C-alpha cells in the first residue's frame, strides 16, 4: 500500500506515551492503525445514524439486552490477558 509522509502536531503527553509503547521507529505504524480504527468508528457511527433516521431509534430494552450479552471492552481485554 502506498504511503505519504505528513507532518502532524500532537499533544506532548500522547506522543510520549505512544513512544513508550512502540518506540520511536514504530510510531508511524501506530498512528496509522489508530487513524484506521477511528475512520472505521466514524463509518459505523454514520451507518447507525442512517439506520436510526430510516427506522427510528433503538429501544432501551434492546440496548439493555445487548449490553448484557456483550461485556465491556475492558472485561474482554482482561479475559484475553488471563487466557
Greater pLDDT, 72 or 19: 19
In this prediction, residue 24 carries a pLDDT of 82
Q: What nine digits make up the cell of 25?
A: 521507529
- Domain residue spans in the chain? 12-82
In this prediction, residue 76 carries a pLDDT of 65
At 77, the pLDDT band (50, 70, 90 cuts) reads low
CA torsion sign for 29, 35, 36, 41 is positive
Q: What is the mean pLDDT of residues 52-70?
A: 93
Q: Which residues contact 75 (CB under 8 A, 6 or more apart)?
A: none
For residue range 11-60, what is the model confidence (pLDDT) as tens digits? 999 999 999 999 989 999 999 999 999 999 999 999 999 999 999 999 99
For residue 58, what are the CA distances in angstroms to 20, 65, 71? Answer: 41, 11, 19
Amino acid at each position: 500500500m502506498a504511503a505519504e509522509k505528513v507532518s502532524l502536531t500532537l499533544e506532548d503527553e500522547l506522543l510520549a506515551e505512544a513512544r513508550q509503547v512502540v518506540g520511536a521507529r514504530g510510531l508511524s505504524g501506530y498512528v496509522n492503525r489508530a487513524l484506521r480504527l477511528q475512520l472505521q468508528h466514524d463509518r459505523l457511527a454514520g451507518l447507525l445514524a442512517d439506520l436510526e433516521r430510516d427506522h427510528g431509534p433503538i429501544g432501551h430494552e434492546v440496548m439493555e439486552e445487548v449490553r448484557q450479552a456483550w461485556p465491556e471492552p475492558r472485561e474482554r481485554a482482561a479475559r484475553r490477558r488471563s487466557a
